[in-house]
Chain A
Amino acid sequence: MFGLENATGVVGAVGVIGVVLVEAMLLYVGYGALERAVGPAIVDALRGDR
């Protein structure tokens, strides 16, 4: 995946962990935006307010 299937050594490890870290940050930001966008409506619906 991402051309890192056979990555080894320090450079390979930096690449692999970098991909994981970048994905984590993107997901944190992305899910945060999604939560802000639809979270209140979902909570209201669960409470039976709408």
Chain B
Amino acid sequence: MIEVLGSSATVLALFAGFGVLVGVLFGFFGMGGSFLVTPALLVMGYDTDVAVASGLAFVFATSVIATLKHRDLGQVDYKLGVLMIAGTTAGIEVGKVGLHWLQGMGVADTVVSVLYVGLLGGIGAFITYTATRGGDAGFGPSEDAEAGETDLPDAAEKIQSYDVPPMIQLRGGVSVSLWMILLVAFATGLLSGFLGVGGGFIRMPALFYLVGVPVPVAVGTDLFEIVFSGGIGSFLYAMDGAVDLSVVVPLLAGSAGGARLGAAATSLVDEDEIQVYFGAMLLLGSVAVAIRNVGNAVEMPILRTVSLAVILGAAALVAGAVVVSSVRALRTESEPVTSAAD
């Protein structure tokens, strides 16, 4: 077996390929990093703290690359970002303590997996519901959103109506109570530290659905914030020696390229077309973790393999849909336009 940097070439290729898939999703949606990586590492048999820490380090590095690409588009609200960082930092600390406490009790793996099932399944169902309903409540960047004419979700409208000072003025003419912003930040930070997720798949929709900022600002600010939350989280775990570079390095090599593909696709593909697939991927992710839990409970190791196959299949399905839709859009652009008057 060929060994490269202490790992087999097959394993490194697997990680790099998986990184490409995750990178496409990250570049396209501005989220979707560790919620796939950490469960995959758990399924592959890595210890919980290593899976969480390596997932965080991977998300940190990928968010650096994605944020650099968004920087020039003016889609970052730095005031909101700093507030999110403050709340998230406190949340990560509490989440990390909670994970170590659960590890001491020997139930961390189960609790993390169960929470993943609930979060992935719940958010996936919600996104799929809003996408198939065909309304304007989807979280994806739409033409209206890019023009700053986002339809305000009902929940955001309600939250913005809470006039609890100090009120913070945000990009897009949004005014939100400082305390609501900090609450969202703390909650997502708690999950970030506890589950090893960058928090993007929770925070970005939360910024849109709850805080009510326009989608492009939510994406850019979320990525900016993930740089810090992912960096802090991975640094804290790295102090305990939990970050496995033989996992992170090949994953990042793949995701950096995939992120470019995904980001380029955002200017080509109608996101409404993709939302159903993305929601389905989250649902499949929850199914995969559930299968793994059942496999552990009934001591059937084969279910770990089935679970990993479901996770990889879900990522491949959505990443493939993004690429195919992009190529189709490119070819449609190049076709001669027939006038309606003809």
Are A43 and B234 closer than 8 Å at their CB atoms? Answer: no
Give the interface size bracket for A toward B.
20 to 34
Given contacts A1-B246, A13-B239, contact A28 B234 (CB under 8 A): no
Given contacts A1-B246, A28-B65, contact A20 B239 (CB under 8 A): no
Q: A2–B243 Cα gap in the complex (Å)?
A: 13
A-B contact pairs, 17 of them (CB 8 A): A6-B241, A8-B239, A12-B241, A13-B236, A13-B239, A16-B57, A23-B253, A24-B62, A27-B65, A27-B256, A28-B64, A28-B65, A28-B256, A31-B256, A43-B330, A47-B334, A48-B331
Given contacts A24-B61, A24-B252, A27-B256, contact A10 B330 (CB under 8 A): no
Closest to B254 in A: A27
The A interface is mostly helix, strand or loop, or mixed, namely: helix
**B residues less than 8 Å from A37 (CB atoms):** none
Asked whether any CB of chain A lies closer than 8 Å to the CB of B219, the reply is: no
Supplied contacts A1-B246, A24-B62, A27-B256, 19 more A-B pairs, CB within 8 Å: A1-B5, A4-B245, A8-B241, A10-B239, A12-B241, A13-B238, A13-B239, A17-B235, A19-B249, A20-B57, A28-B64, A28-B256, A31-B256, A32-B260, A47-B330, A47-B333, A47-B334, A48-B331, A48-B334
Q: A8–B60 Cα gap in the complex (Å)?
A: 19
As a 0/1 sequence over residues 205 to 246 of chain B, the CB contacts with chain A under 8 angstroms (1 = contact) are 000000000000000000000000001001110111101011
Are A2 and B245 closer than 8 Å at their CB atoms? Answer: yes
Which chain A residues have a beta carbon within 8 Å of chain B's beta carbons? 1-2, 4-10, 12-13, 16-17, 19-21, 23-25, 27-28, 31-32, 35, 43, 46-49
**B residues less than 8 Å from A9 (CB atoms):** 239
**A residues less than 8 Å from B60 (CB atoms):** 17, 20
